[in-house]
Amino acid sequence: MKIALIAHDKKKEDMIGFVTAYKDIFAQHELFATGTTGKRIIEEVSLPVHRFHSGPLGGDQEIGAMIAKDEMDMVLFFRDPLTPQPHEPDVTALIRLADVYQVPLATNMGTAEVLVRGLKGGFMDWRKLRDN
C-alpha cells in the first residue's frame, strides 16, 4: 500500500514515535511524505520514504495530486490544530480530496493507530465499496 505521512512541526516528535512503534508494519509498505517529515523519518527511523516538497512549499498539494490520481491508499496527517499554518488552504484541499476519493485519512495519532492496525489486518476494501 502507498501511505502518506505528514506532520506539522509541533507533531513531528509524535510522528517519529508513532512510525518507530509501528516500524514493522510501515516497512512492508511504500511510504511518501512531505519534505521535513520525510527527512526525519529517513534519518531517525531508517525507513525509505519518497519525499515531496515541504508542506508550505507545495508538499500537501503533491500528495493531494496522488490522491486525485487514485495513487494513494492512506494518509496519516498529524495536524497541529493550535498553530496557524501559512498554507492552511493546502491542508484543507488535501483533506477535501481524501474525502472526495474516500481515502482513509487520520488527522491525529489515535485514529492513525486504528488505521495502521487495520492495514495490518487487511481491512482495506474501501475501493471495492466506493467503486460499486
- Mask of contacts with ligand 13P, 66-105, x by CB under 6 A? ---------------------x---x--------------
Q: By CB under 6 A, what part of segment 41-60 binds ligand 13P?
A: 54-56, 59-60
* Strands, E assignment, the chain: 2-7, 30-33, 50-51, 74-78, 105-106
Contact region for ligand 13P (CB under 6 A) — 19-27, 29-37, 42-50, 113-121?
29-37
Instruction: Count how many residues are written for the chain.
Output: 132
d(CA 128, CA 77): 24
**N-term to C-term CA, the chain:** 21
54 marked as binding residue: yes
Least gap, CB of 79 to ligand 13P (angstroms): 8
Contact set with ligand 13P (CB under 6 A): 6, 8, 34-37, 54-56, 59-60, 87, 91
